[in-house]
Structure 1
Amino acid sequence: MAKKIFGWLVILMLLASCTSTENIPTEAAPPTAVPPTEEPPALETAVPSTNIPPTNTAAPPPTAIATAVPSEPDLSIEADGVFLYPIPDVYAGDRVTFQVMAHVPANVDPNAVTVHILVNYQDVAEGTLSAINLAGDAVGLFEWAWDTTDEVGDQLVHIILDRFDTITEGDENRDNNQVALTVPVLDPQTLPPNERNATWVSAETTCCNVYVVSGTAAYRDLPELLMTVETAVTAAAASLEEPLNSKIDIYLIDRVIGQGGYAGNAIVVSYLDRHYASRGFEQILTHEAIHIIDRQFAPERISFLAEGLAVWGTGGHYKSENIHQRSAALVALGQYVPLADLIDNFYPVQHEIGYLEAAGLVGYLIDTYGYPQFKRFYTDVTAEDAALMSQAIDLNLQQYFDITLTQAEANWLAFLAEQPEDRTEQIDLQTTIRYFNVMRRYQSLYDPTAYFLTAWLPYPGTLQTEGNPADLTRHPQAEINVTLEVMLQASDAALRQGDYNKANVLLDSITRVLDNDGTFIDPLAASYLALVRSLTAQGYEVQAATLEGDRAQVQVTGRGTAVLTPLTLTLSGQNWILSN
């Protein structure tokens, strides 16, 4: 295809962590909200006051409702469709971001739905439901809209849709157009010292400008991380045979987002001690760097190919992998998704399956036709080539390789059928898919703002000047969060060591907790909970734990510090006792 004129198309790509954007992520795809079971706390629904600023028209009179066929719900909003950042608590001095998801019927244009936000009856923000998240929901995002300086105590927040009643069809019931939230604003003096005094710190390498927040694990490990960053970016450039033409801004954050980070004009990667969404830090960095570098020659590349190239160029998704063997294992497990379906519905497909298939096809095309020809193909495929992404790829496959998508898929599957069966690869892949499914279920229930369909993905450069360090560091740390995150981390460690039985036993235990509304009735989970409780009561925060019979090897930090301390505990009856 002739090269298209580059437009600022924002493409969200959830990589090995990944959500990759062309420019500022929040302009195109701020995420939706999943009703939290525990976080954020204390957002109590209040009875909306009748004294809020008036609308232009009176509420419509009651009308008869047909009972034979239920009508589609009209424009509405509920309290669990609103998130306030930083999460889970707001402290005086924070600049609060509002993320609003509403139900918008099919006959209403979300861009025509106004959103007004009031704090204690004073307007602080207004706009429309102008963005769409990965789930296809209409979203309003109002970044750093409320300055809470000197506002300690409960504050009344109203979120109002269509305040002046300009929408008639599709908004018959105005009573469900607003929610009121009682938001406690906490005293910042109660924050741990490291967070109360948090500030951005920067360092420079040959390839990159690296930014961390003081008092975090990344700040503690910064000298070693700078070497890792340089290695990862060098590897990314080498895999693409493309020299880096400008320095990359990299932000290392103290919370989990998605599978570990996102990329746009800059890279954001999670780096924390209790990283429960896989420990493949260097792989994620390399993957994200590929997303930055490939825009130098393919600014309009499509998601399916971009993620495939990033996994191929990294040599695996979360760890070093044989892409061909792993793709063959996917087929053997019966998890293969037909390419046209995957390409046209890339993000709704199970994350690890979609990324592996994309990498497998990319690797096959490169091995068969050579990287230079593939690079020309990759550069030219854009969303503007056809009505569907699969059609765009099909057209370009014909031009560059003289095959259709159907033929390419058949040839690739025949190639995979020739690969020797590898049972270990199959078990590893099966356990990996299960691990991430359980991890995302945990996120959706107990850390919803980390879940890739709901995560707010701020552009870090703007956040650094206008927002709060807490936007990228603060996260839920209730007892259930710490316990399940430590268990997820232990399962990932077992998986990486090839101990699939142990990994699955831990996943079984976590699943029972999730199935029982957070009740720790499973003996293994109950033992982890008792361990976390014991150490928390002694002033520690558990960052990692490995249980072997009646002994536990634990990594902890003290409250308000990032200093890691190893501890050994022994189980005595029902109690964990420090041995060192």
Structure 2
Amino acid sequence: MARIRRWAFAGVLLLILWLLGARPPEAVLLRPMAGTPSPALPTLTPSAVPTASPPTPGSRYGLAIVDFRLHPDGPLYAGDRLSFEVEVRNVGRAPLAGGRVEIRRGGPEGEEVLAEAALPELAPGASHRVVWTWVWQAPGSGTFPLIGIARGEGAGGATEARWAQPVTLGPQEALPETERRARWAQARSRCCTHVYLTGTAAEADLARLMAWADEAEATVRARMGLSTPLPISVVWIPRLLGHGGFAVGDSLILTYPVADRLPVDLPTILRHEMVHRMTCAGIGREDCLGHLPALITEGLAVFIAGGHYRPEPLTQRAAALLRMGGWIPLEELVEDFYAHPHEIGYLEAGAFVEELVRKGGWPRFLDFLRSLERRPGESDRTVLDRALRDVYHQDIRGIESRWREALERLPPDPEQAADLRFVWTFFEALRAYQRKYDPSAYFLRAWLPDWRQAVREGIVADFMRAPDSPEGRRAWQDLQAARAQAARGDIAAALAALQALCRALGCSDVAEPVLERPGLPVPDGRAKG
């Protein structure tokens, strides 16, 4: 559950009601601000993408539109506020000094520009992504061509790329009733402001959700040694994004319901995201995220939460991972942490933090966190290695070597090994499903527009709708059938179904050899949750 960039803190003044005793939570309906909202300015951010295939010989200048996304996902209707994402790549041999990218709507009377932005200089093979959020409101129903145009300019020439797709807008009367009636509302618990959509499961279960959030916040704040609560907004949405939870600035964005879709424990996810919210305050450094390697921030969240997706014995699972042959050396894992197999990375990171705390105690670990200092141009490994030497007087290789020796001495735990394999395979299949059928939900590229702007302007579609196709529905049904098999205790059948689905969807090439590793025992009886 990766951290992503901070959002703007501007918002409207909200009426706050406190919970009193055991009374049901009182909610405030949040009404859109009057008037027509001004379009959001486009943002231009670099994107790490694979290098493009080289152009044909003689192609000095070349530009390609390699990705185009339209939001909200799923069916579109008249009156929708649309957002666009375009990724362009220099596929030529020469640099481009700049250019422009436009989104147009085609029609019988010509093309209408809906959004535009300047492109920066692009070196050969470089890519940039332009995002326009809620910049155009569809006026009516019907079908029209949506066109993307990218123009690049070089020192001795220019290049252009075009992309088009038909877009169909249904009539407003066809909008699902649940979305038509949904409004943003809020309620207050001891720890947090809870923002949710009326008519959803979050509204029905709000008292329980607020109690879970209060408990998670108190647990994490006590562990981090914070006497004063931090402002926290918890936004509950029905749309499944990533693995169910994100921390964004002072906000937690959580999917609900989630346990009937993923093998997760929501209180554990709440604790995980609360840790992200409190880490910098806990070590007294506002800029800590620029210094702490992701291996440490995510490992800390897993450790304090008591597990990754649900409560689990981290050290025992790390020992099982080591025996399975899926271990990633820490000096490799710390670099580009999120690019490594997800469940391996988070498990090793959480167990590593647990080992450091076991080795030197919590106060010493806090000293270690405070000692992590990134100097200009330094890699994550360099930052981590120096702090380990300063506080624990060993480098990363020495600590890992002794730790692995201790893990190897632990007795085998077949149930942990089997459950680890199931969780690993399930989420590999989930991410493959998202990449293929629901790319805006994929955790590294999740579509998370500013919820505060959505509240101000009464926008709900981006937080409710999801793509729908016959192929995607079948894959999702297979995924859920495997989850149900595991919940009944039939891990072997669940694994067989998931591995077949993983092969069909194209799961991670890195994980597949370990998932297929023979000889891993599968216990009888119900799997541990």
TM more than 0.5: yes
Amino acid at match of 1:181: Q
Structure 1 residue matching 2:378: 3-state secondary structure: coil
Structure 1's 380 and 357: CA in aligned 2 closer, same or farther, altered over 3 A?
same
1:151 matched to which residue of 2?
A: 140
Structure 1's 293 and 199: CA in aligned 2 closer, same or farther, altered over 3 A?
same
1:211 matched to which residue of 2?
A: 195
Structure 1 residue matching 2:328: 3-state secondary structure: coil
Amino acid at match of 2:307: G
2:466 matched to which residue of 1?
A: 475
C-alpha separation between the residues in 2 aligned to 1:434 and 1:72? 44
**Kept after mapping to 1: 8 A contact 2:268/2:310:** yes
Structure 1's 27 and 179: CA in aligned 2 closer, same or farther, altered over 3 A?
closer
- 1:565-576 equivalent positions in 2, closer than 5 A: none
1:576 matched to which residue of 2?
A: none
2:131 matched to which residue of 1?
A: 141
C-alpha separation between the residues in 1 aligned to 2:242 and 2:339? 14
C-alpha separation between the residues in 2 aligned to 1:412 and 1:143? 47
Deviation of residue 509 (structure 1)? 5.3
1:87-113 Cα distance to aligned partner (Å, 9 max, x none): 022212211110112223487779945
1:86 matched to which residue of 2?
A: 72
**Kept after mapping to 2: 8 A contact 1:31/1:455:** no
1:548 matched to which residue of 2?
A: none
**Kept after mapping to 1: 8 A contact 2:98/2:121:** no
Structure 1 residue matching 2:411: 3-state secondary structure: coil
Structure 1's 139 and 122: CA in aligned 2 closer, same or farther, altered over 3 A?
same
Deviation of residue 457 (structure 1)? 2.4
**Kept after mapping to 1: 8 A contact 2:184/2:198:** yes
- 1:51-200 equivalent positions in 2, closer than 5 A: 66=57, 74-78=62-66, 81-105=67-91, 112-120=98-106, 121-128=111-118, 138-148=128-138, 150-162=139-151, 165-168=152-155, 173-174=159-160, 177-200=161-184
**Kept after mapping to 1: 8 A contact 2:428/2:502:** no
Structure 2 residue matching 1:97: 3-state secondary structure: strand
**Kept after mapping to 2: 8 A contact 1:283/1:318:** yes
* Range that drifts further, 374-383 or 323-332: 374-383
C-alpha separation between the residues in 2 aligned to 1:471 and 1:425? 38
Given the alignment, which residue of 272, 276, 292 partners 1:291? 276
2:226 matched to which residue of 1?
A: 242
Given the alignment, which residue of 307, 313, 320 partners 1:322? 313
Deviation of residue 160 (structure 1)? 1.6
Structure 1 residue matching 2:154: 3-state secondary structure: coil
Q: Does 1:233 align with 2:220?
A: no
C-alpha separation between the residues in 1 aligned to 2:79 and 2:49? 24
**Kept after mapping to 1: 8 A contact 2:105/2:147:** yes
Structure 1 residue matching 2:196: 3-state secondary structure: strand
Q: Which runs of 5+ in 1 are unaligned?
A: 1-14, 35-63, 516-580
1:141-186 Cα distance to aligned partner (Å, 9 max, x none): 11111111x3221233222212xx42357x8643xx1212321122
Structure 1's 241 and 331: CA in aligned 2 closer, same or farther, altered over 3 A?
same
* Range that drifts further, 358-367 or 238-247: 238-247
**Kept after mapping to 2: 8 A contact 1:268/1:460:** no
C-alpha separation between the residues in 1 aligned to 2:428 and 2:128? 25
C-alpha separation between the residues in 1 aligned to 2:400 and 2:60? 41
C-alpha separation between the residues in 2 aligned to 1:189 and 1:274? 32
**Kept after mapping to 2: 8 A contact 1:32/1:455:** no
* Range that drifts further, 186-195 or 307-316: 186-195
Structure 1's 204 and 106: CA in aligned 2 closer, same or farther, altered over 3 A?
farther
Structure 2 residue matching 1:378: 3-state secondary structure: helix
Deviation of residue 19 (structure 1)? 3.8
**Kept after mapping to 1: 8 A contact 2:202/2:237:** yes
* Range that drifts further, 229-238 or 209-218: 229-238
Structure 2 residue matching 1:272: 3-state secondary structure: coil
- 1:290-309 equivalent positions in 2, closer than 5 A: 290-296=275-281, 297=283, 298=285, 299-300=288-289, 301-309=292-300
1:421-475 Cα distance to aligned partner (Å, 9 max, x none): 2122111112211111111111112222111233222232233324721111101
Structure 2 residue matching 1:364: 3-state secondary structure: helix
**Kept after mapping to 2: 8 A contact 1:199/1:469:** yes
TM-score by length of 1: 0.72
Deviation of residue 20 (structure 1)? 4.0
C-alpha separation between the residues in 1 aligned to 2:99 and 2:404? 47
C-alpha separation between the residues in 2 aligned to 1:28 and 1:288? 27
Amino acid at match of 1:89: P
C-alpha separation between the residues in 1 aligned to 2:419 and 2:311? 12
Amino acid at match of 2:273: E
Q: Percent identity?
A: 29
Alignment length (residue pairs)? 456
C-alpha separation between the residues in 2 aligned to 1:183 and 1:236? 46
* Range that drifts further, 225-234 or 202-211: 225-234
Structure 1 residue matching 2:339: 3-state secondary structure: coil
Given the alignment, which residue of 242, 245, 262 partners 1:261? 245
Structure 1's 417 and 129: CA in aligned 2 closer, same or farther, altered over 3 A?
farther
C-alpha separation between the residues in 1 aligned to 2:471 and 2:56? 44
C-alpha separation between the residues in 2 aligned to 1:376 and 1:189? 60
Amino acid at match of 2:344: I
Amino acid at match of 1:117: I
1:279 matched to which residue of 2?
A: 264
2:498 matched to which residue of 1?
A: 507
Structure 1's 347 and 151: CA in aligned 2 closer, same or farther, altered over 3 A?
same
Amino acid at match of 1:92: A
**Kept after mapping to 1: 8 A contact 2:96/2:155:** no
- 1:396-545 equivalent positions in 2, closer than 5 A: 396-466=387-457, 468-496=459-487, 498-508=489-499, 510-511=501-502, 514=505
**Kept after mapping to 1: 8 A contact 2:43/2:132:** no
Structure 1's 123 and 258: CA in aligned 2 closer, same or farther, altered over 3 A?
same
Structure 1's 331 and 252: CA in aligned 2 closer, same or farther, altered over 3 A?
same
1:335-361 Cα distance to aligned partner (Å, 9 max, x none): 011111111121110100011111111
Structure 1's 499 and 20: CA in aligned 2 closer, same or farther, altered over 3 A?
farther
Structure 1's 429 and 374: CA in aligned 2 closer, same or farther, altered over 3 A?
same
C-alpha separation between the residues in 1 aligned to 2:408 and 2:276? 31
Structure 1's 102 and 259: CA in aligned 2 closer, same or farther, altered over 3 A?
same
Structure 2 residue matching 1:320: 3-state secondary structure: coil
C-alpha separation between the residues in 2 aligned to 1:395 and 1:227? 41
Structure 1 residue matching 2:64: 3-state secondary structure: coil
